[in-house]
Amino acid sequence: MPNGYNGRILRVDLSAGSVQTEEYPDHFYRQYFGGEGFISYFLLKECKAGIEPLGPDNKLIFAAGPLTGAPAGGCGRHSVGGKSPLTGGYGEADSGGYWGAELKMAGFDAIIVEGKAEKPVYLSIQDGKAELKDARNLWGMKALECQEAIRGELGDKNIKVAYIGPGGENMVRFAAVMNDLDAAAGRTGMGAVMGSKKLKAIAVRGHQRVGIADAAAFKDIAKWIADNTPITNKGMHDFGTARVVAALNPAGGLPTRNFQLGSIDGANKIDGQAMLDTIFVKRRACYACPVQCKREVKVDKPYKVDPRYGGPEYETIAAMGSDCGITDLPAIAKGNELANAYGLDTISCGATIAFAMECFENGLLKNKDTGGVELRFGNADAMLKMVEQIALRQGFGNTLAEGTARASRKIGPASEPYAMHIKGQELPMHEPRLKQGMGVGYAISPTGADHCHNIHDTVYTNVGPMLEALYPLGILEPMAANDLSAAKIRLVKYYTEFIHFLNCAVCCYFVMSLSLVGLERITQLVRAVTGWDTTFFELLKVGERSANLARIFNLREGFTVKDDTMPKRFFAPHPSGPLKVALDPKAFEQGKQLYYQMMGWPNGIPTPGRLGELGIEWAASQLPSK
């Protein structure tokens, strides 16, 4: 098999209780690459149309990439995918920490989980051997207890565990697959899929080093990353992802009160500096990462926050904070701890609570509906209460555990204007009135509203080094964040394909960004690990290929261009605050059309020619007949 890979994919049939190892030809690896690429391939190839996401026919796929576990910054992530119980379409998210690297060292590139166990089980993989084990005693456990119990049972405290908490067990539709206590494959509800299969956890441990074709070249690049990225990405190193709060709030780009506003009084109480000054304990890193954007935090009063669950990232700060009208950092840290312990996506969780708060404020929900919880913007206790109720599907939490779209249908049509979702997935904390290219990306992403299959927001500062980083793509002129011209949509297309590629390589955006490491060095890194004489051209095609497979998965499920939507709210400006612009309906629609045209998707549907160009002619047969 090619360097960088184990050449072994594990297939686990939970219904049969069996495990088996599969091998694929070399070209399979080069074409589908890993992570998202494996997931989109296997989901389209192996799942039938119309399956129930929370039924035994769904598959849950864990996948690393060729770089995963190679000792370089940004190479410590893995992807988890399946049909999404939140959107009914393509589902997939990736996670940092140490689990992905350990999976590789344990001898596998990916795991395909099928069927459903009768009783709770977990999967143990140690140095190439895989085994299903009884998890009845683990069922109901939160993250920390679960991880410790497995490590105890297997007698190795260095075992890495990916798991679900009670949120996944209870099939909360935005439950996450967690690992390492503070890392989440958060979006699209993969934790619920894992829960539906009664698979509590996957424990991995191994000693196999990732094969590297050109060790000297690899070492040089890894050293360059280690030496440079903590300096060039100093803000991320010093303040974590929370650093962006201080930039977004004055720009009107900090989602506030369920996206009614873009800034909040007291933003300085929840920004990176505030965290450093108050609850910060120390930096944490994913595998081999020099940037170390993760945090450890400690709160004693009024909440007790266990430092082991890590500190809130930007998405959590906005979703459980400003978007709920909350600027109480200890409360947000507690919400983060709860979500990590119970295994929930902090974005969808916070956003769904924010939605409920707006319903409450507008009289669509009353105390009797919420079990007496005063779901008002700014009420941190109410937010925390709901996180727990959601995870346990208790009280009103059982409604919100279905996600914003389903909760809105239950509450009634009057709540629909407050339901900030696309294709059933809640918007992440990037304001599409400000980041309009990302807005187009939200509408088109196969995962619904998602920043992880989308243009990365740093691109909006595409002047100076960022712009120069785009020159090798032929993009020579800067453009504004709210520009939706063809020039901008080109940037959206290219950058989204680059992100799709990073999802296939399962590399971190915060390290392997175009402006930090640069496309040439990323290409060289892939060359050094795999030994392939690859080009950025080929790597971008890897991303485009995966984007097309995911698109086809959704088309097969019945999605059409009519599902490439944007909540109406974003076409009107904030009633107050610094950002004066909103999405223009005509420009937005035109932006989508340009995107389809650039992708070679007339009516939003990939042509046989486009699939042929990507070497996936086989996928044409999966398109719905007209």
Residues that bind its own copies (CB under 8 A): 27, 30-31, 468, 471-477, 485-487, 489-490, 493, 519-520, 523, 532-538, 540-542, 593-598, 600, 602, 607-615, 617
How far is the C-alpha of 501 from the C-alpha of 437, rounded, in Å?
Answer: 19
Helix (H) or strand (E) run with residue 611 in it: helix 608-613
114 versus 544: smaller Cβ distance to its own copies: 544
148 versus 520: smaller Cβ distance to its own copies: 520
Question: Residues 64, 104: contact at Cβ < 8 Å?
Answer: yes
At its nearest, how many Å lie between its own copies and the CB of residue 532? 7
Q: What is the 3-state secondary structure (H, E, C) of 465-526?
A: HHHHHHHHHCCCCCCCCCCCCHHHHHHHHHHHHHHHHHHHHCCCCCCCCCCCCHHHHHHHHH
What residues have CB less than 8 Å from 626, skipping those under 6 apart? none
How far is the C-alpha of 561 from the C-alpha of 451, rounded, in Å?
Answer: 19
127 versus 520: smaller Cβ distance to its own copies: 520
316 versus 548: smaller Cβ distance to its own copies: 548
Question: Residues 20, 484: contact at Cβ < 8 Å?
Answer: no
Phi, psi of 569 (to 5 degrees): -45, -35
What residues have CB less than 8 Å from 61, skipping those under 6 apart? 38, 39, 42, 43, 79, 80, 81, 82, 110, 111, 112, 113
Task: Extract the tokens encoding 548.
Answer: 């097309």
At its nearest, how many Å lie between its own copies and the CB of residue 25? 10
17 versus 608: smaller Cβ distance to its own copies: 608
277 versus 618: smaller Cβ distance to its own copies: 618
At its nearest, how many Å lie between its own copies and the CB of residue 591? 10
158 versus 621: smaller Cβ distance to its own copies: 621
At its nearest, how many Å lie between its own copies and the CB of residue 89? 23
118 versus 477: smaller Cβ distance to its own copies: 477
- The one-letter amino acid at 98: Y
At its nearest, how many Å lie between its own copies and the CB of residue 434? 22
Task: Extract the tokens encoding 47.
Answer: 């799942």
Q: What is the DSSP letter of 343?
A: T
Distance between start and end Cα atoms, the chain: 40
At its nearest, how many Å lie between its own copies and the CB of residue 73? 22
At its nearest, how many Å lie between its own copies and the CB of residue 586? 14
- The one-letter amino acid at 506: V
Question: Residues 242, 278: contact at Cβ < 8 Å?
Answer: no
> In 3-state terms, what secondary structure has residue 22?
strand
154 versus 486: smaller Cβ distance to its own copies: 486
At its nearest, how many Å lie between its own copies and the CB of residue 361? 41
At its nearest, how many Å lie between its own copies and the CB of residue 437? 13
Phi, psi of 129 (to 5 degrees): -105, 130
At its nearest, how many Å lie between its own copies and the CB of residue 528? 14
Task: Extract the tokens encoding 244.
Answer: 């962006």
Q: Which of 208, 169, 178, 303 lies closest to 7 in space, CA to CA?
A: 208
Number of H helices, E strands in the chain: 23, 16
> In 3-state terms, what secondary structure has residue 539?
helix
Q: Which of 350, 355, 340, 406 lies closest to 182 in space, CA to CA?
A: 340
Can you tell me which residue has the tokens 């086809």?
A: 552
Beta bridge partners of 134: 121
At its nearest, how many Å lie between its own copies and the CB of residue 245? 33
429 versus 605: smaller Cβ distance to its own copies: 605
How far is the C-alpha of 184 from the C-alpha of 204, rounded, in Å?
Answer: 16
How far is the C-alpha of 95 from the C-alpha of 102, rounded, in Å?
Answer: 13
At its nearest, how many Å lie between its own copies and the CB of residue 37? 12
128 versus 615: smaller Cβ distance to its own copies: 615
How far is the C-alpha of 624 from the C-alpha of 626, rounded, in Å?
Answer: 6
Can you tell me which residue has the tokens 């296939």?
A: 504
602 versus 624: smaller Cβ distance to its own copies: 602
Positions of E strands within 139-266: 160-163, 177-179, 183-185, 199-205
372 versus 612: smaller Cβ distance to its own copies: 612
At its nearest, how many Å lie between its own copies and the CB of residue 472? 4
